[in-house]
A and B are shown apart, each in its own frame.
Chain A
Amino acid sequence: MKKFLREHGIWVLFAAAVIAVALAAMSFFSNTSSPLANVAGIISSPFRNAYTSVATWFNDKQAYYTDIHALEEENAALRRRNAELEAAARQAEKDSEENKRLRELLNLREQRRDLSDFEAAFVTEHTVTNWTSSLTLNKGTAHGVEVNDSVIDETGALVGVVSEVGYNWCSVLTIVDTDTSLGAQVFRTKDLGLATGDFSLMGENRLRLDYLPAGCQLIGGDLVVTSGLGGYFPEELVIGSVEEVKRDDTGSESYAVVVPAVDFNALTEVFIIKSFDIVT
């Protein structure tokens, strides 16, 4: 090597200078890169592409894992938020229903100033035997509830009458139970009658209106309300509407089949009328 450089070094330097000058001249006079740089670029291009692809792949993967972690956290946060919003929506719906009930009750209170003392109660149990139609409520003597108190829903429709009271519960016989009997009046005609539970109709959630005056002209849909006579029940509580008028087995008297205004199976909250003013 030493010998080669001593003998040909000057020529090597000369050749290098000539090549350098040539490259400089070519790059000066050419619009593209020099052929050597071009060749080097062409050769290195696939390697560069491969390197870039690999680097990009790693970067993407890194970014992917970083993103997925962030997305997981964001997803968890959104799920929590969604659960909170759903809970809020449910509560709002519940509040809205309660609000509606209370508004109706307030309206009822304003309309019916004779109904002075209400007690709101929840239905804890529906009918428990096939021979009675009853409800169990979560209010009792501790809340001032007494036997024979009337029970209504938020619209003022009669649900039934308290039949048994415990400390924090009471049983209510609904208006379709066979043991229920109420003085009733047809709102349109002012005809008086007796609304009683009938076992044959109880299964269909119906009751009958008996002792109608001869020649009374009832039509389907006539509203039946409590008469208030005798002072046992407040007057003008809605019992239901006339479905049809029938003749009894003897054929001598007619009675009306009444559809209660209340859907007993759908009841969740009711109001017990603890006291009322007797209107004469």
Chain B
Amino acid sequence: MLARNEIIFKWTLYAAATALCFLLQSFVLQRVTIWGVIPFIYPVIVAVLATLEGPFSGTVFAIAVGVVCDVLLPGVFPCLYTLIFPLAGLCAALISQSWLPAGYLCSLATSAIAFLMTGIAQCLLLMIREKAAWATGISVCLRELAVSAVLIVPVTILFRWVFRRTHLDD
């Protein structure tokens, strides 16, 4: 059990790591297009942290990231990420607790699920607006996952470092 100041310290470090990832997305990844898509780091952050911190903390963190994404990114549905990221975070946490222990493989699997959930949500939104494009949507989603997969390793290293730094007694 962490003391209050240790919890504050831990989440400050997580916030700093997340801010670093946001800067990476805005300044670097935004300008890179591979296979017609831009790498997208946010689902990876949500999935990786949830595998490390468990369902409750992972979900709360995912809500925060979702809100920031909805504020920063343009979109038709104003709270898409706020709704999808907590679900993705929860799934990631449950998978890491039940099937795959937190690690690179778990990060890859949970990130893939997070991307898939986001893609399906986007396709559903298109369908609701009578502009269904499932094949293109899934193609974009898979390409997005493929080009973002390389980010899973550095993000996992970064967040695991914070986790280990703040869970010395575990």
Contacts and interface: CB of A to CB of B under 8 A. Distances in A.
Contacts of A196: 131
A127 to B, nearest CB: 7
B129 A129 contact: no
Given A163-B74, A164-B74, A178-B76, A130 B140 contact: yes
A171 interface: yes
B74 A199 contact: no
Contacts of B137: 199
Interface residues of B, number: 21
Interface string A164-200: 1000000101000011000000000000000011111
A126 B140 CA distance: 18
A164 B74 CA distance: 8
A127 B26 CA distance: 11
A203 interface: yes
Interface in B75-132: 75-76, 122, 126, 129, 131
A131 interface: yes
Contact of A130 (B40, B76, B126): B40
Given A164-B74, A173-B74, A131 B133 contact: no
A270 B7 CA distance: 48
Contacts of B136: 199-200, 203
Interface residues of A, number: 21
Interface string A101-136: 000000000000000000000000111111110100
B73 interface: yes
A163 B74 CA distance: 9
A129 B133 contact: no
Contacts of B37: 130
Interface of B: 30, 36-38, 40, 72-76, 122, 126, 129, 131, 133, 135-137, 140, 143-144
Interface of A: 125-132, 134, 163-164, 171, 173, 178-179, 196-200, 203
